Structure formats: C-alpha cells, structure tokens
C-alpha cells in the first residue's frame, strides 16, 4: 500500500513510545548514534531497543515500530500497534497481520544504490574489465584484445520486475542511450513512461526475448514469481546474452541457469541473489569464468540508513 497521510495514522503526532529495533550483523545496516538522533527528531517518543527481549517488552505500549523484522506471533502482544516501518525492500521478513489492523511500510529508497551495483557488473562485462584485470596482474599491455568490448548504450536491456527499483535502473541505462523493455504484470502504456521503450506482460516474454542483449531481474520474492523463468525462456534468448539478478533467487531453477551459462545461449552473468543463501560451495555458478557473484549486497552501502531516514522525514512531514 502506498504511503499517504490518508491511509496511515498521523505518524508525527503519536504520544506513545515508538519502538526502534534495528539491530543487524551488517555494519551498513546497524543503527548509529546519528541515526538515533535523527529518528528522535522525527519521533520524539522513540525508544531504542538493543535486543529482541527489550523490543518484545515494549510492544504492548507502542503504536509504531521501526524494525527489520516482525514475527506473526508478536501481533497479539502489540494491541496498540498500527504501523510497522522497515527500511527493507523485501517483504519476507515482516509477517502479515492476520487481522489486517497493522499497516506495513517498506523502504523505497534502494533503487539508487542497487542501480549503481547493477551498472558495476554490467560495465565489468561490457568493457571487458576481466581481461584488463588479468593483464594487469601479468604486467601485460593489452589493447587489441579489448576490441570486442561493447557500449551499454547501444544495447537492448530487458528489466523483469519493472517497479520502483526497475525504473531507476532503466533511468540510469537510458541516460547512456540504451533501449529498454520493461516486464511487469500490470502493464501500462510505455508512452506514459519516461524510460521504457516498451512494456510487456510476463506471458509475452518468450516471444520478445530474442530481442534482448541483457536480461535484468529485479523481481521480488513470492509465489507469483516462483520459476517465472523456465528452461524455455533461457533457450529463447539469443546467443551472447548476459543475465543479471539483483531481485530474488526464486524466479528460476539454478540448474536451468547453469545449463544456459555453460552450454549457451548465455555468455555471462552477474548474480547478487540466490534461491538458497549463502550460495552452496558446491554450486557450479562459482566456477563459471564469466559470472560475477556478490553476496546479496547490491543495496549494502554506508549511506543506507541515512537515505532511509531522509525518506522517513519526507513521509512524515510532507
């Protein structure tokens, strides 16, 4: 549900404690003193919880919780709770309220970080940086070998999951001059979109795939995206296609992806997410010579929570 002051309580007017529980093992996601002070400016009644027990003890008193995760069995403890705010984009860590009394608002700021992560992988491939890196280690001056490098702006990129994050990725690529096809279930006229040259439904994807130079998945998790890409989809891609995934890993079978990478038509990939994480050390993906693997880190950035707090300020005060 999109955030509006019409669908949510007036968040800035709460007189009850706001439970702030943002512990994380990832340094970029760990709340710092500057974040606490900024949130207290937005919600003067906020109380920081340093562990789960403190958070659960506070739940009966709070109207708003700011947290990474929320379990289904916690809702009966939180009789006054009406809103959960979370920096996360993924839906899987906040359980649904079976009584539909508590609204959940996810962060929407991730696109600018994730688009840069995507571009870093795409430029590595298109500019043949693997060859330059290897030559540097060997102290070799290679130039002719880079003659087959390609410009991202001359290519046709398909973006699966053409939502908020997908559109920012499109905007970055369109700045370079690229052709963009957005893929989404709720289709709309591409003429109304600033960056997509066409928008198609997933059911049409196989017919259009031979046009693509790269396939970019920004698909969310969920049963409606399970195995959305099948072996038939990979077979429909033209030889030399690159595949990138910064969404979730449930949208295809890993064996189908490996088959397409090792035997064609895919020539390379950039993979940040996997169906099982961490990726098994036995996975054949590790050994593919033209595949970049990153540890679900496309949104990890030292400004992560700073960007989220700026978004909170806009939501509460605008």
Do 281 and 197 sit in the same domain of this protein?
A: yes
Do 89 and 129 sit in the same domain of this protein?
A: no
Q: Is residue 75 part of a domain?
A: yes
Q: Is residue 64 part of a domain?
A: yes
Q: Is residue 2 part of a domain?
A: no
Do 99 and 164 sit in the same domain of this protein?
A: no
pLDDT value at position 190?
72
Q: Is residue 19 part of a domain?
A: yes
Q: Is residue 6 part of a domain?
A: no
Which two tokens mark 277? Answer: 């994480």
Do 173 and 312 sit in the same domain of this protein?
A: no
Do 101 and 171 sit in the same domain of this protein?
A: no
10-residue stretch averages of pLDDT, the chain, 318 residues long? 44 83 96 96 95 97 97 97 96 94 96 98 97 96 94 98 96 98 85 90 97 98 94 98 98 98 98 97 98 98 97 90
pLDDT value at position 4?
38
Q: Is residue 56 part of a domain?
A: yes
Q: Count of alpha carbons within 13 Å of 245, Cβ hemisphere only?
A: 23
DSSP H helical ranges for 50-188:
52-58, 111-126, 129-137, 164-175
Confidence (pTM): 0.93
Which two tokens mark 171? Answer: 């905007």
pLDDT value at position 2?
38
Do 199 and 96 sit in the same domain of this protein?
A: no
Q: Domain tally for the chain?
A: 2
- Which residues have C-beta within 8 Å of that of residue 25, sequence separation ≥ 6? none
Q: Is residue 3 part of a domain?
A: no
3-state secondary structure 26-58: CHHHCCCHHHHHHHHHHCCCEEECCCHHHHHHH
Do 223 and 193 sit in the same domain of this protein?
A: yes
Q: Is residue 1 part of a domain?
A: no
Give CA–CA dist 315/281, Å, rounded: 42
Catalytic residues: 248, 296
Do 166 and 49 sit in the same domain of this protein?
A: no
Do 249 and 144 sit in the same domain of this protein?
A: yes
Enumerate the β-bridge partners of residue 243: 215, 269
Do 94 and 165 sit in the same domain of this protein?
A: no
pLDDT value at position 7?
44
φ/ψ of 14, rounded to 5, equals -65, 140
Domain with 81 in it = 11-110+302-317
Do 118 and 176 sit in the same domain of this protein?
A: yes
Q: Which helix (H) or strand (E) holds 311?
A: helix 304-317
């Amino acid at each position: 549900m999109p955030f509006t002051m019409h669908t949510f309580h007036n968040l800035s007017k709460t007189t009850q404690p706001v439970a702030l529980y943002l512990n994380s093992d990832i340094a970029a996601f760990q709340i710092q003193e500057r974040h606490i002070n900024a949130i207290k400016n937005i919600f003067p009644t906020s109380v920081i919880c340093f562990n789960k027990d403190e958070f659960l003890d506070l739940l009966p008193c709070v109207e708003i919780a700011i947290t990474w995760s929320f379990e289904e069995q916690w809702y009966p403890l939180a009789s006054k709770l009406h809103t959960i705010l979370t920096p996360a984009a993924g839906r899987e860590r906040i359980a649904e309220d079976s009584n539909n009394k508590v609204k959940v608002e996810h962060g929407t700021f991730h696109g600018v970080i994730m688009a840069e992560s995507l571009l870093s992988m795409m430029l590595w491939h298109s500019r043949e940086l693997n060859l330059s890196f290897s030559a540097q280690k060997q102290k070799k001056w290679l130039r002719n070998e880079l003659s087959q490098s390609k410009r991202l702006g001359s290519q046709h990129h398909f973006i699966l999951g053409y939502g908020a994050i997908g559109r920012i990725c499109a905007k970055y690529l369109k700045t370079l001059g690229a052709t963009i096809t957005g893929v989404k279930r709720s289709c709309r006229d591409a003429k109304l979109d600033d960056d997509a040259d066409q928008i198609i439904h997933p059911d049409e994807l196989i017919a259009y795939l031979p046009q693509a130079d790269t396939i970019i998945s920004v698909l969310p998790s969920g049963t409606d995206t399970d195995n959305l890409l099948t072996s038939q989809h990979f077979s429909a891609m033209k030889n030399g296609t690159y595949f990138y995934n910064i969404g979730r890993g449930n949208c295809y079978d890993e064996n189908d992806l490996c088959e397409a990478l090792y035997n064609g038509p895919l020539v390379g990939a950039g993979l940040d997410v996997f169906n099982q994480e961490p990726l098994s050390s036995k996975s054949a993906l590790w050994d593919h010579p033209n595949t970049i693997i990153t540890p679900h880190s496309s949104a990890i950035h030292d400004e992560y929570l700073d960007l989220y707090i700026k978004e909170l300020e806009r939501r509460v005060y605008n």
